[in-house]
Amino acid sequence: MKEEHRGHMETTLCYIEKDGAYLMLHRIKKKNDLNEGKWIGIGGKFEADESPEECMRREVREETGLTVKTYRYRGIVTFVSDRYETEYMHLFHITETEGELKDCEEGVLEWVSVEKLHELPHWLGDRAFLSLLRTQIPFFSMKVRYVDGDHLESCLLNEQPVLFTDRLILRPFIEEDAKAVYENAKDPEIGPLCGWIPHPDIEHTKEVLRDILIGPDSFAIVRVDTGDPIGACSLFPVSGKKVRENETAEEIGYWLGRDYWGQGYATEIVKELQRYAFEEKQLDALWCCYYDGNERSHNVQTKCGFVHEYSEVVERRLLGDKMLNHSQRISRSKWEDM
């Protein structure tokens, strides 16, 4: 039997920015509101024959009293829920308006700084597209799926998964991340810890993005309070020497800019990659390695349950040297016990 089609609705979702803050609507006035108590952008349902731009302008005018002058149409967010009908939200970033702000019948309007926004009650998936508003990413498609009301089950950006921790977003890389990646990857201490050369210029970074970082299960590590990439992490195939017979396994890799060392970010990242690998990808095991002397990485892996399997001297082709490499492993059963 085919599932009953529940229908869908088209809406606009608009974020008006001024002086490093967004105009947010605290939804506390409307009865039977699926957004009750949450802080969201401005917007609402399409009226007959409206284009997305026409709906955006009307909703902003009706809810805030402002007239839109400058904006960018950023993307479409598909909101899927086990309680509500599917919603296609057309996302707008508005940077110039005119007029006087008025009271809104559906909630309380307030300017909220970008850095403080994540601290307020909101839909978790909103963090992903909010982190992209101030970038130059081209028009994008995002899909968020919620169960049991507002529990985020999955988030996809251009069909690639987006993961969340308390302080971070792990999202697919985009070419527009080059400048932020370069500023961290040029550090002479970071690359050798991971087996690659410090980035000599931004053109090298752009090449690394195109050839390595932009791909499946490769994530930009983004701070939720700033939206800035601060490193990279990934899941990738392990060599046949490590994989046990009839076992599905992948390896975790990660690096962070020096300014973000010693703050618990790496442990947060590895634990979320473990959850993703074991719960969503249903892998049997994960591997993680560190070069001799990299005690920071060793400590992170130990905290996350990895156990030493073997050590060997490996050739670091990009650096033109050899180094003792320690390989560690954790099984899904051990992770579940933890």
Q: Say if CB 27 and CB 21 are below 8 A apart.
A: no
Same domain, 207 and 143: no
Q: Which residues contact 31 (CB under 8 A, 6 or more apart)?
A: none
**Three-state secondary-structure class, residue 178:** helix
Nearest to 166 by CA among 261, 37, 269, 254: 269
Q: What is the mean pLDDT of the chain?
A: 93
Q: What is the pLDDT of residue 335?
A: 97
Same domain, 238 and 311: yes
Site of tokens 């599932």: 3
Q: What's the distance, CA 251 to chain centroid?
A: 20
pLDDT digits (tens, 9 = 90+) for 173-224: 999 999 999 999 999 999 999 999 999 999 999 999 999 999 999 999 999 9
Q: What is the pLDDT of residue 5?
A: 44
Element (H, E) at 255: strand 249-256
Same domain, 245 and 142: no
| Final residue belonging to a domain, choices 129, 158, 187 | 158
Residue 126, φ and ψ in degrees, nearest 5: -60, -30
Q: Say if CB 77 and CB 13 are below 8 A apart.
A: yes
Same domain, 31 and 109: yes
Same domain, 138 and 35: yes
* 2: in domain: no
CATH, residue 138: 3.90.79.10
pLDDT digits (tens, 9 = 90+) for 132-155: 988 889 999 999 999 998 899 999
Full domain range(s) for residue 57: 8-158
Count other C-beta atoms under 10 Å from residue 232's C-beta: 26
DSSP string across 42-60:
B--BPPTT--HHHHHHHHH
Same domain, 104 and 200: no
How many domains would you assign to the chain? 2
Q: What's the distance, CA 335 to chain centroid?
A: 23
Nearest to 36 by CA among 26, 48, 46: 26
| Residue 46 clears pLDDT 90, i.e. is over it | yes
User: Cα angle vertex 188, ends 187, 194, to 5°?
Assistant: 95
Query: pTM for this one?
Result: 0.90
pLDDT digits (tens, 9 = 90+) for 94-135: 999 999 999 998 899 999 998 898 899 999 999 999 999 888
Residue 25 is classified by DSSP as E
Same domain, 144 and 266: no
- Tokens of residue 314, six digits: 């490996």
Count other C-beta atoms under 10 Å from residue 285's C-beta: 22
Amino acid at 93: H
Q: What is the pLDDT of residue 33?
A: 78
Site of tokens 């970074």: 205
Same domain, 149 and 178: no
Same domain, 172 and 91: no
* 274: in domain: yes
